[in-house]
Amino acid sequence: MFSIRYLSAELRRRLGRTILTALGLAVGVALVAAVTALSRGLDDAQAQVLEPLTGIGSDMTVSRPLRADEGGEGFDPGPGGVNLTAAERDRLVEENSAAQVSLDELGDPGDPFETVVFVTSTRLTFPEAELARARDVEGVAGAAGGLTLSALYLEGTVPEPVPGPDGDVLGPRTALRADIDFEPAAVAGVDVAEPDLAFVTPGQIVDGEWFTEGRPVIARDEVVLARDYAARQGVAVGERLAIGDERFEVVGIAEPPLGGEASDVYLELGKLQEVARREGRINVLRVRADSSADVGAVAAGIEAAFPGSEVVTAEQLATRVGGSLVSASDLADSLGTVLAVVAMIGAVLIATLLTLASVAKRTRELGTLRAIGWTRRRVVRQVTGESLATGVIGGLVGAALGVAAAAVVTALGPTLTASVEGAGGGPADAFGFGAGAVGGAEEVTLGAPVDLPLVLLAVGLAIAGGLVAGVVGGLRAARLRPADALRSLE
């Protein structure tokens, strides 16, 4: 076909210019492709880290936190005092009275002892009946109760009573000088009927099994341990773990998600309520919304239905995740996008200027074509076609460059770190008590996935760039008067 032959001959004649234009467009689209692929890789990596938090399971956690009033600072709880009603205060005192260990009850002086007490740390307990109320909130698909407590192991020898100045035997304060080890652990009670809403979900089990699902009676004797805790205690799946007087079989080891809520020890809820002497009490509601779009509304509904409650959504948890992964992702989103856009605009500008220069140089040639009967449209089509062809070449080269760059990133597989500050929250955490967000870091390998739509996007962008340059050049060519072909003679 004549116009194709003419077009390719023209591109070959101005080979340097063609290569420069195509290369400019190629670099532009390669950057767009690489940045897009990298950005996707970062999104994938983030999703990989956050998936356990935001994927299946609960959308939010509801609790009744113990906290100072607004305006309170340090040890001053503020004008309103601690935000507890009198009944709640009494309840708290009652629940935590168990922590006041009377040495007299542990045995005779000199006897070894081992006991565990459960303390309500940052979250007040409430009756299980509240669960029904939570399920009634509009948009709630499901809710499960949970109980998180701080367990305090005490192990040692019953001290000798110390006579007081007046011959009285002093009370338990003397135990401070005794040979007693304290070991705190965060314990959580799990509703085995709602595995997805539990503190620890089956998906988080890295060794062994989850609780015997839906069978609380069997599950009562089972325990799941956090990996770090199991390692510290030197306990493995299949072994038995003593908590107070009770013996439990370790059925599984779990790795809680980064930024998620974690305890050291997970027991069946009823069993924990029993051993902690908090029958019928829970202190956490795990709630799932009908759809992820409703989470905000549901959270607001729950906050309204439960005054004083604290609702933490999975997305809020996800925002706690930081580290190089998040920095890189932010960088790719902002700087990378700007860079790609600037490169693309630059490439189109260069292509346009080169096309305009080419049209100016070809005044006589294009005028001659008009003189021998080519219409304006046909000349515009020819010039645009040449630029478009350059765009196609640039697009293919650019897509290849972009894919290659992405492949290099994937092959190198740089690792990025997602990290979370240790859980902030209630005052008890200062002592390491209570369940909290999982701190630490997780390494993720970065890839830069490329697929056909991305390649097509790259080629399409270059073609669009070529088209813009071609149309501008073509319009300039259209404005040439055919008489200009003869002008050089006068």
Partner 1 sequence: MSAVVHARGLERVYGAGSAAVTALGGVDLDVDEGEMVAIVGPSGSGKTTLLQLLGALDRPTDGTLEIAGRPIGDMGDDALARLRRDSVGFVFQQFNLIPTLTAAENVEAAMVPTDVPGPERRRRALELLDAVGLSARAGQLPSRLSGGEQQRVAIARALSNRPRMLLADEPTGNLDSATGASVLELLRSFAGEDGRTVVLVTHDRGLAAEAPRRVALRDGRVVEDSALGDGDSDDPLKVLAALARVGAAAPEPLDARDLAAARVALAAVDDRLTSAVRAALGDADGLTYRELALVAAVLEPGG
Q: Which residues bind partner 1 (CB under 8 A)?
A: 1-3, 5-6, 9-10, 12-13, 364-365, 368-378, 481-483, 485-490
Our CB check for partner 1 shows the closer of 201 and 384 to be 384
Closest distance between partner 1 and the C-beta of residue 396, in Å? 23
Say if strands 222-226 and 180-190 run parallel, antiparallel, or are unpaired.
unpaired
Nearest to 199 by CA among 439, 440, 441, 437: 437
Nearer to partner 1, 183 or 365 (CB): 365
Please state, as a whole number, how many other Cβ atoms lie within 10 Å of the Cβ of residue 389. 20
Question: If we measure between CA atoms, which residue out of 400, 394, 386, 380 comes closest to residue 454?
Answer: 400
For residue 190, the cross-strand partners are 268
Minimum distance of partner 1 from residue 326's CB (angstroms)? 55
Residue number, 89 or 378, with CB nearest to partner 1: 378
CB closer to partner 1, 7 vs 416: 7
Minimum CB distance to partner 1, residue 362 (Å): 9
Smaller CB distance to partner 1: residue 200 or 485?
Answer: 485
What is the Cα–Cα distance from 88 to 309, expressed in whole angstroms? 13
Least separation in angstroms between CB 371 and partner 1: 5
Rounded Cα distance between 198 and 202, Å, is 9
Least distance (Å) between residue 481 CB and partner 1: 7
Structure tokens at 240: 């038995």
Q: Which of residues 472 and 485 has its CB atom nearest to partner 1 in the complex? A: 485
Minimum CB distance to partner 1 smaller for 234 or for 373: 373
Asked if 298 contacts 289 with a C-beta cutoff of 8 angstroms, the reply is: yes
The nearer residue to partner 1, 242 or 360, going by C-beta atoms, is: 360
Residues 138/144/149/153 CA torsion (nearest 10 deg)? -170
- Spatial neighbors of 80 by CB under 8 A, at least 6 apart, are 69, 71
Strand locations in 64-105, DSSP E? none
Least distance in angstroms from the C-beta of 490 to partner 1 = 5
Least distance to partner 1, CB of residue 400, Å: 28
DSSP letter, residue 121: -
Measured from the Cβ of residue 166, the count of other Cβ atoms closer than 10 Å reads 5
Q: Smaller CB distance to partner 1: residue 16 or 234?
A: 16
Closest separation in Å from C-beta 385 to partner 1: 13
Structure tokens at 102: 């009377």
Query: Shortest Cβ distance from residue 377 to partner 1 (Å)?
Result: 8
Nearest to 473 by CA among 354, 350, 343, 344: 354
Residue 293 half-sphere exposure, CB side, CA atoms within 13 Å? 0
Alpha carbons 220 and 217: distance in angstroms, whole number? 5
CB of 371 or CB of 392, closer to partner 1: 371
Q: Write down the least CB distance from residue 487 to partner 1, Å.
A: 8
**H or E, element range at 349:** helix 337-361
Q: Is the dihedral of CA 62, 67, 69, 70 positive or negative?
A: negative
Both structure tokens of 7: 């077009």
Q: How far is the CB of 381 from partner 1 (least distance, A)?
A: 11
| 40 Cβ contact partners less than 8 Å away, ≥ 6 residues apart | 448, 449
Q: Compute the least distance from the CB of residue 389 to partner 1, in Å.
A: 14
Q: Tell me the closest approach of the beta carbon of residue 375 to partner 1, in angstroms.
A: 4
What's the token pair of residue 136? 């009634």
CA distances from 446 to 200, 259, 327, 405, 455 (A): 27, 20, 13, 13, 20
Nearer to partner 1, 412 or 486 (CB): 486
DSSP letter, residue 262: E
**CA torsion through residues 302, 307, 310, 315, sign:** positive
The nearer residue to partner 1, 100 or 488, going by C-beta atoms, is 488
Residue 2 vs 75, nearer CB to partner 1: 2
d(CA 73, CA 343): 52
Q: Is 200 left (phi over 0), alpha (psi -120 to 50) or beta?
A: beta
